[in-house]
Amino acid sequence: MPFGGDAWLLTGYAEIKQFLADPRFSSLEATQPDTARVTPLPLRPGNLLTMDPPDHTRIRRVVVKAFSMRRVEQLRDRIREVVDEQLDQLVARGPPADLVASLAVPMPVVMISELLGIPSADRERFRRHSDVLVSTTAYDAAEVNRTRTALEEYFQELLEQRRSRPTDDLVSTLLEAMDTERLTPLETARTGVGILMAGHETSLSMISNSCFLLLSQRELYARLVAEPSLLPTAIEELLRYIPLRSTGSFPRRATEDVELGGVLIRKGETVIFQRAAADRDERVFTCPEKIDLARRPNPHLGFGHGAHHCLGAALARVELSLALEGLIRRFPDLRLAVPGDQVPWKPGLIARCPARLEVTW
Amino acid sequence: MEARADRPLPRTPRGDVVSGETSQPRRWRVRVTEKCGGCGMCVMTAPLYFQLVDGYSQARHSEVEPDDAVLAAAELCPMSAIEVVDADTGAEVTPTP
Ligand code: SF4
């Protein structure tokens, strides 16, 4: 690995599922500096991603309500409204337009900010920071460290402000949890920053990548325009097919010797996995390389598995679905304004995402 | 309140949905619906009550004594696939609102 030595790489579907559900592989242990990884710095302890049960369960339970299906259903109208506002602006400005800047970025940023209660004036600030946090080679360790600290400090400020003026959002919920669950201010800030980052970075990548895929193989887009009822299965297929990560997953470390896929993994060794490989495993998916917008069943691992299964899965599904629904409804003739192979990508990040996606209609 | 610090899952079981009634139901009925995606979260959270069968979760017992772990699993389920109802009244047992 680029940093911290060797790691095992899992690629099989069954092995990855087993790994993700096995508490003997610790996320917390993987925050040690000698952990093999692709990022300049290991993840920090103290946010959901780097906790193990039962701590993880305790904190996750505090925040899970904000992301439940019930809650997300209540947000549906607001998400649709945000999508429509963005698409209205597209219409007003006329083609060509960059779908990343005009839809994929603003919509998830607005949603996660409203959920957490981030004032709109501050949103640009964390947006700029988030690329640094998911960097492999684009930014160095010192920069990553500075950015993390800046974000955590920002979040601590936000908590302080909220203490005097409580509101009905996730920041206030976290604040309450500091008392009821004995979270330290730093842990609370890290949990908040973790949710903030995960809540928009992956969603905006997923929307950008989905648009790229559907428009670079335009018969797929045309099919959705003709058959919008395919959207639910199409969403799942996009989640399966799109790699989203240019590298393996965040590492975990074995807390004892574990046999996995016929291999003995020793205590202390690091394991990463390539989710995209699992989701192309032909033992599970027929013709895995084919994009089948009606594929069913589709037990993909796009949101992970086990205790760290994506907290925002329901929100991400609805965001992606409403973004695509808005596009096919209002822009049936949408197409790329440049050839697919000339679309620029953001290099050096864990997230694999177009930098711009110029389209016309 | 005082008991909170030493309990891993610090909420008390509640079954107070029906018309503001506060008495605790004697039994809960637990069911995993077809929305289950097999992520295993419930099994990790409440292994006494859930198990994976062919990759999907199943309730080990269809009726249980009220236990906070069951509610924790229902809350944590990313697919909202776990139903918990009062066995007597059929009313949904919801976690804290
Ligand atoms: S937590 Fe929900 S989705 Fe995951 S296995 Fe249990 S019932 Fe299924």
- First-residue to last-residue Cα distance in chain A: 44
Q: Ligand 1, atom 2: nearest CA belongs to which residue?
A: B77
Establish whether residue B41 lines the binding site of ligand 1, counting it when its CB lies within 6 angstroms of any ligand atom.
yes
Q: Please, are residues B49 and B73 in contact by the beta-carbon 8 Å criterion?
A: yes
Segment A215-225 shows an average pLDDT of 98
Q: Looking at residues A52-61, what average pLDDT do you find?
A: 88
Q: Does A74 touch chain B (CB under 8 A)?
A: no
pLDDT digits (tens, 9 = 90+) for A90-122: 999 999 999 999 999 999 999 999 998 888 888
The stretch A28-40 carries a mean pLDDT of 91
Ligand 1 contacts CB of residue B17 (under 6 A): no
pLDDT digits (tens, 9 = 90+) for A288-330: 999 999 999 999 999 999 889 999 999 999 999 999 999 999 9
Contact call for B5 and A182, based on CB within 8 A: yes
Highest mean pLDDT of the ranges A57-71, A141-155, A277-291? A277-291
Cα–Cα distance measured from residue A150 to residue A144, given in angstroms and rounded to the nearest whole number: 10
Per-residue model confidence as pLDDT tens digits over A164-180: 888 888 998 898 888 88
Q: What is the reported pLDDT for A299?
A: 92
Alpha helices in chain A (DSSP H): 13-20, 55-63, 69-93, 99, 106-116, 123-133, 141-164, 170-180, 185-216, 218-226, 231-241, 275-278, 313-330
Measure A153 CA to ligand 1 centroid, in angstroms. 35
Quote the pLDDT of residue B28.
95
Distance, C-alpha A278 to centroid of its chain: 18
In angstroms, the separation between the Cα of residue A8 and the nearest Cα of chain B is: 22
Residue from the list A64, A70, A313 with its beta carbon closest to the beta carbon of B76: A64
C-beta atoms of A69 and B79 within 8 A: yes
Closest by Cβ to B80, choosing from A23, A70, A307:
A70
CA neighbor of B78 nearest in space, from A188, A316, A55, A91: A316
Q: Percent of chain A scored above 90 by pLDDT?
A: 57
Ligand 1 atom with the shortest distance to the CA of B52: 5
Vertex A314: Cα angle to A311 and A316 (nearest 5) = 90
Of residues A61, A180, A305, nearest to B75 (C-beta): A61
The mean predicted confidence, pLDDT, of chain B is 77
Confidence of residue B8 (pLDDT cuts 50, 70, 90): very low
Enumerate the H helices of A230-299 as residue ranges: 231-241, 275-278
Which range has the top average pLDDT, A14-23, A48-57, A252-261, B42-51?
A: A252-261
**Model confidence, pTM:** 0.87
CA distance A64 to chain B (A): 6
Q: Is the distance from the beta carbon of residue B81 to the nearest atom of ligand 1 less than 6 Å? A: yes
- pLDDT surpasses 50 at B11: no
How many angstroms separate the CA of residue B12 from the nearest CA in chain A?
13
List of chain A residues whose C-beta atoms are within 8 Å of the C-beta of residue B8: 54, 57-58
From the candidates A249, A319, A351, A353, which is the catalytic residue? Answer: A319
pLDDT tens digits for range B23-48: 555 799 999 999 898 888 898 889 99
Other CB atoms within a 10 A radius of the CB of residue A14 amount to: 15
Q: Is the pLDDT of residue A68 over 90?
A: no
**Amino acid A165: pLDDT:** 86
| Half-sphere exposure for A243 (CA within 13 Å, toward CB) | 16
Atom of ligand 1 nearest to the CA of B73: 1
